Amino acid sequence: MTTRAEAIKALEASHVLQNYKRHPVVFVRGSGSRLVDTDGREYVDLLSGIGVASLGHAPGELAAALTAQAGELLHTSNLFFHPLQGEVAERLARLSGLPRAFFCNSGTEAVEACLKFARRYWRTRGANERHEIVAFEGAFHGRTFGSLSVTAGEPYRAPFAPLVPGVRFVSPTDPGQVRDAVGERTAAVIVEPIQGEGGVRPVPGATAAAIAEACAATGTLLITDEIQCGLGRTGRPFHGAALGLTPDLIPVGKSLGGGFPVAAALMSEAIAAAVAFGDHGSTYGGNLLACRAALVFLEALGNGLVERVAAAGRRLRQGLDALVADSGAIHEVRGDGLMQGLEVDQEVADRAVDCALARGLVINRTAGTVIRLLPPLNISDEDIDEGLRRLRLALDDAGAALRAA
Ligand SMILES: Cc1ncc(COP(=O)(O)O)c(C=O)c1O
């Protein structure tokens, strides 16, 4: 007899584009930081759908708000005034200091919008030659052509070349390269305050200072990509502020909808003033359901969630540091708050995710040798401790499997 999981996998194998190598588990429900698969097995989720399920799984307040909104009005397009966009934009403005928002559906679209608005800013000023972008080695900003063009990894880029021209990549650990690259032809510098896909790598303070200096000296715009590390994830509304960065544009996404697809490009008044009617748009961007979800998340963020992440992040980090001391498998822990990465050997990384799943734990491997943890922002102390316990077992299992191989 075919099980439900087997039937699901077979149907996908026949009809879904095979661009994701999926792990062999089918989650069917969840609650808080726990997920349940087709066999009724429960998992501690330290990944939250790659930093998206910010309020945990099946959060009551989000489900209720979306249900109520769906019963009232789902979508009217951006051709008409909107009962909720102003409210979401105003809350994001209070958090970020950037007074205007453009709404879209995903991180890559938010980055795309930031790149277009940066170019538009200079073009409006008659400085058409300022179209270059400075980006960083190790960066990940998305997979559409503009954001792919500022994404560093060759495996992402090579199959789709040629990309958008005029992008210069510099080392995130060499402030001198930043100073040399930014000049009178640069429209914007784009940086993740903590590189996510690139292996949970915080921007070093000296590089952040060089970015701030170079942008100030040349009038270059600064885009801090907070899609993964922002909106509370590190125990601050935005992580760029912790590095002394004052961006002109911030793309946000992931956590914003708690699982509902919504993203935004936040911008200064000067940039907003350069964008004319019809310059850019999105059919779905920030529709009523999306904005309702964002309001629920932003309400939670303003009601103690940021502070809770800071405390939870300290607990997680202490547990990880203890794990480093006890286990020979981890070489380094990097990150901040509830965004943590563990550097391990390639052979351990190859086995870690499957060993974790076997122990009832959801984690992720990125950049080859990094185990990434991005739990729900409201994860409980108990689930952090249980997640750490299972992680320890999974790493032991990975080590044992390696020795047996
Ligand atoms: C920093 C950063 N920017 C952009 C993106 C792209 O977001 P999306 O996958 O929603 O298009 C991601 C996704 O992982 C990201 O981490």
In ligand 1, the atom with minimum distance to the C-alpha of 196 is 16
Which domain, by its residues, includes 320?
A: 4-59+303-404
Q: Please check whether residue 338 is in contact with residue 309, taking contact to mean a CB–CB distance below 8 angstroms.
A: yes
Mean predicted confidence (pLDDT) in 68-95: 97
Degrees, nearest 5: CA angle 339-341-344: 170
111 and 53 part of one domain: no
Residue 247: is the preceding peptide bond cis (ω within 30°)?
A: no
Residues 230 and 285 in one domain: yes
pTM: 0.98
What is the set of active-site residues? 140, 225, 254
Return the H-helix or E-strand segment holding 335.
Answer: strand 330-336
Residues in the chain: 405
- Residue 149: how many CA atoms within 13 Å on its side-chain side? 16
| The pLDDT value given to residue 327 | 83
269 and 308 together in one domain? no
Same domain, 16 and 120: no
134 plus 268 within the same structural domain: yes
Whichever domain contains 43, its CATH number is 3.90.1150.10
Contacts of 54 (CB under 8 A, 6+ apart): 48, 231, 232, 254, 255, 256, 258, 259, 297, 376, 377, 378
**Is residue 112 domain-shared with residue 241, that is, in the same domain?**
yes
Nearest in space to 119 (alpha carbons), one of 131, 134, 129: 131
> 312 and 235 in one domain?
no
Q: Is it the case that residue 202 has pLDDT exceeding 90?
A: yes
pLDDT above 80 (res 1): no
| Same domain flag for 55 and 137 | no
The pLDDT, as a whole number, for residue 103 is: 98
pLDDT tier, 251 (very low <50, low <70, confident <90, very high otherwise): very high
Query: Which one of 226, 254, 260, 374 would you pick to mutate in the ligand 1 pocket, going by the greatest count of ligand atoms within 8 A of its CB?
Result: 254
- Same-domain status, 213 and 246: yes
- Give the domain-ending residue among 270, 301, 332: 301
CATH number, position 257: 3.40.640.10
What percent of the chain is modeled with pLDDT above 70?
A: 100
Same-domain pairing of 289 and 346? no
142, 151 contact by CB (below 8 A): yes
Q: What is the pLDDT of residues 358-394, one digit of tens each?
A: 999 999 999 999 999 999 999 999 999 999 999 999 9
For residues 360 and 375, what is the distance between their CA atoms, to the nearest angstrom? Answer: 14
- Domain end, chosen from 266, 301, 336, is at 301
Work out how many domains the chain is built from and give that number: 2
pLDDT at 328: 85
Both 184 and 317 in one domain: the answer is no
| 211 in the same domain as 358 | no
pLDDT band at 342 (very low <50, low <70, confident <90, very high): very high
* Ligand 1 environment, Cβ below 6 A: 106-108, 111, 140-142, 192, 196-197, 225, 227-228, 253
